[in-house]
Chains A and B, each alone.
Chain A
Amino acid sequence: MGSLRGRSRILRQPVSLASFAVILVILLSSLFAGFLAPYNPAAQSADVLLAPGSPGHLLGTDNLGRDQLSRLLYGSRPLLVVSAFSVAIAVIIGLIVGLVAAYARGVAETVLMRTMDVLLSFPLVLLGIMIVAALGAGQRNLILAVTFALIPIVARLVHSLTLREASREYVTAARAVGMTPRRIMFREIVPNLIGPVVVQATSLFALAAGFASALSYLGLGIAPPASDWGLMVKEGQPFVGVALDLAVVPGVCITLLLTAVTFIGDDLRDFLDPDRRLEGGFGG
Chain B
Amino acid sequence: MTGNQFVRRLTAVLVVVWGAATVVFIVLRVVPGSAVDQISGLYGTAEQRVETRRQLGLDHSIFYQYWLYLKGALRFDFGRSFYSGRPVTDILVDTMPVTIELAIAAGLIMLTWGILAGSTAAVFRNTKVDVGLRGLAAVFFSIPWFFSGVLLLILFTSVWKVLPGFGRLPPTMTYEPTTHFVLLDAVIQGRPELVWPWLSHILLPAAAIGLTTGGYIARITRASFLEVTSQDYIRTARSKGMTRRQLFRVHVSRNAALPIVAVAGLQVGALLGGAVVAEVVFSYPGVGKLMVDAINRRDYPVVQGAAFVVAMCYVLVNVATESSYPWLDPRLRR
Q: Which residues of A contact B (CB under 8 A)?
A: 15, 114-115, 117-119, 121-126, 129-136, 206, 210, 213-214, 217-220, 230, 233-234, 237, 240-241, 244, 247-248, 251, 254-255, 258-259, 261-263, 266, 277-278, 281-284
Contact = CB atoms under 8 A, between A and B. Distances in A.
A284 B142 CA distance: 12
B161 to A, nearest CB: 11
Nearest to A266: B138
14 contacts: A119-B23, A121-B311, A125-B277, A214-B145, A217-B146, A217-B280, A218-B280, A219-B292, A237-B153, A241-B158, A247-B150, A247-B154, A255-B144, A278-B223
A122 B314 contact: yes
A93 B235 CA distance: 46
A220 B20 contact: no
A284 B269 contact: yes
A218 B19 CA distance: 27
B19 A114 contact: yes
A259 B138 contact: yes
Interface stretch (B27-35, B44-52, B119-127): B27-35
Contacts of A115: 19
B277 A218 contact: yes
B187 interface: no
B318 A121 contact: yes
B134 to A, nearest CB: 10
Given A118-B20, A122-B311, A134 B31 contact: yes
Contacts of A132: 295
Contacts of B143: 255, 258
Nearest to A210: B144
B89 interface: no
A221 B224 CA distance: 37
A121 B27 CA distance: 15
B295 A251 contact: no
Contacts of A124: 269, 273
Given A118-B19, A130-B24, A254-B147, A123 B142 contact: no
B70 to A, nearest CB: 15
A135 B27 CA distance: 9
B295 A133 contact: yes
Given A133-B300, A248-B150, 9 more contacts: A15-B135, A118-B19, A121-B20, A121-B314, A132-B295, A230-B146, A240-B158, A255-B144, A278-B259
Given A126-B273, A220-B292, A251 B151 contact: yes
A283 B266 CA distance: 5
B291 interface: yes
Contact of A255 (B147, B263, B315): B147
A258 B23 contact: no
A217 B314 contact: no
Contact of B31 (A135, A241, A281): A135
A213 B27 contact: no
Given A251-B151, A284-B266, A123 B216 contact: no
A281 B224 CA distance: 14
B269 A248 contact: no
Contacts of B147: 217, 233, 251, 254-255
B267 interface: yes
